[in-house]
């Protein structure tokens, strides 16, 4: 019986391996739109497969690591390794190459800060990519703004999007959106991976969004004394204090903003959604609009939470909340991990019980990734500052 079972297992394994080897790949690969200038690889085909190529003649094993799944590459007689992934979801993905156990960026792709490192990125063309495409419309400017934080005792920076016409219409003032990145990313994410500037350029050109300034800062901010006490661990973030006490006053002083809560919005993705939720609930005198994309991780998803205890009872008074919050926007991708459905839907359940109005957007066929958040920003910014 044991020999029969082993034989059956061997046959199944052989059939599966044969099926894999016989899998036909559509040979219509094109260079990725985010390749380094002049680089032919990586390539993407119509199925969403990613093909990579690297010269490593002395290597014994090379793999493509994308989405946490590793794919073996094959070496030819010239010592060049080449291979491809399974079909990937539409949108942007971080990836790397693994050469004899060492993970390295692909020299053919542009580099992005994500997953806590600078590494390679790939773009699988989306069917709705036009809303973040570079088009022949008036374009705004993304500038780097340096400032010294007395709270963190460090030089910091944010990136500031100013809309088309900002440098021509010198008498015009603008509302501001403070837009935060996710965990293990930084202030470069929204203008690089997220294409926030292109999304707004296109929306403003079509008349679907109000011209606005967008401020993208780094959500990691720590007081020196807190870092010292933590002894190498990550302490409680002081970003709320940095934003409220330093960033907003500086932005209002340096740029032509409309410096009141009715013309100030805040939003973030994942970790940034949780951060901004706490910030706005503690500072409703500063903001009138909230957007949480794949977030509210500070809301426990395993049990029903009383509005009277969550965030110090910020949602216990529905009438006051609806008077102060002109837009409460939440979003998720339909392929997000279960934990995000639990937390976001748990938060929605609480809002429903409190009879607090909110807007929910579901991004089709995307997970915890930049296409979800691009689409969310596209939807959210069309709602901002309309009552003003």
Cβ-contact 55, 79 below 8 angstroms: yes
> What average pLDDT does this structure show over 55-79?
94
Least confident of 23-27, 188-192, 264-268, 286-290: 23-27
User: Are the CB atoms for 210 and 175 separated by under 8 Å?
Assistant: yes
| Token digits of residue 138 | 């008036």
Domain ranges within the chain, ordered by starting residue? 25-125, 130-381
Fold of 130-381: Rossmann fold (3.40.50)
User: Is the pLDDT reported for residue 19 higher than 80?
Assistant: no
d(CA 85, CA 286): 47
Helix (H) or strand (E) holding 110: none
The encoded tokens of residue 79 equal 């010592």
CA–CA dist 221, 243 (Å, integer): 10
- Which CATH number is 25-125's, of 3.40.50.300, 3.30.360.10, 3.40.50.150, 2.60.40.10? 2.60.40.10
Between 299 and 6, the more confident residue is 299
Stated as kind and residue range, the H or E segment containing 339 is: helix 338-354
CB 70 within 8 A of CB 79: no
Identify the pLDDT of residue 41. Answer: 97
Q: Measuring CA to CA, how many Å separate 149 from each of 224, 241, 275, 280? A: 11, 10, 19, 21
Q: pLDDT for 341-372, tens place per residue?
A: 988 988 899 999 999 999 999 999 999 999 99
Task: Say if residues 159 and 145 touch (Cβ distance below 8 Å).
Answer: yes
What is the pLDDT at residue 9?
40
Of 158-167, 224-233, 289-298, 317-326, highest mean pLDDT: 158-167
Q: What is the pTM of this model?
A: 0.91
pLDDT category at 164 given cuts 50, 70, 90 is: very high
Contact 103, 95 (CB under 8 A): no
Q: What is the dihedral of CA 313, 218, 42, 93, to 10 degrees?
A: 0
Mean pLDDT within 201-216 = 98
For residue 209, pLDDT over 70 is answered with yes
């Amino acid at each position: 019986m044991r020999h029969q079972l082993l034989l059956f297992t061997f046959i199944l394994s052989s059939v599966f391996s044969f099926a894999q080897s016989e899998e036909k790949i559509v040979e219509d690969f094109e260079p990725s739109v985010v390749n380094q200038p002049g680089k032919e690889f990586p390539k993407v085909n119509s199925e969403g497969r990613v093909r990579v190529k690297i010269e490593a003649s002395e290597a014994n094993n090379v793999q493509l690591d994308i989405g946490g799944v590793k794919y073996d590459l094959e070496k030819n007689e010239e010592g060049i390794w080449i291979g491809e992934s399974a079909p990937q979801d539409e949108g942007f993905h971080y990836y790397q190459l693994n050469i004899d156990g060492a993970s390295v960026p692909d020299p053919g792709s542009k580099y992005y800060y994500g997953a806590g490192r600078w590494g390679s990125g790939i773009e699988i063309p989306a069917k709705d990519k036009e809303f973040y495409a570079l088009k022949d419309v008036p374009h705004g400017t993304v500038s780097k703004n340096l400032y010294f934080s007395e709270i963190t005792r460090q030089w910091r920076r944010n990136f500031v999007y100013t809309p088309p016409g900002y440098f021509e219409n010198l008498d015009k003032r603008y509302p501001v959106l403070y837009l935060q990145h996710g965990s293990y990313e930084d202030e470069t994410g929204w203008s690089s991976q997220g294409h926030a500037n292109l999304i707004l350029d296109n929306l403003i050109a079509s008349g679907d969004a109000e011209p606005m300034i967008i401020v993208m800062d780094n959500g990691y901010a720590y007081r020196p004394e807190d870092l010292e006490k933590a002894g190498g661990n990550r302490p409680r973030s002081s970003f709320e204090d940095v934003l409220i006490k330093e960033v907003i006053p500086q932005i209002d002083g340096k740029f032509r903003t409309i410096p009141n809560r009715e013309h100030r919005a805040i939003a973030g993705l994942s970790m940034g959604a949780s951060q901004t939720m706490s910030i706005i609930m503690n500072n409703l005198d500063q903001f009138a609009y909230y957007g949480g994309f794949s977030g509210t991780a500070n809301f426990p998803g395993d049990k029903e939470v009383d509005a009277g205890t969550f965030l110090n009872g910020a949602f216990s008074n529905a009438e006051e909340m609806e008077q102060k919050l002109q837009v409460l926007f939440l979003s998720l991708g339909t392929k997000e991990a279960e934990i995000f459905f639990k937390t976001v839907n748990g938060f929605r359940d609480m809002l429903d019980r409190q009879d607090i109005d909110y807007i929910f957007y579901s991004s089709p066929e995307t997970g915890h990734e930049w296409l979800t958040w691009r689409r969310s920003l596209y939807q959210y910014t069309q709602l901002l500052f309309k009552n003003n």
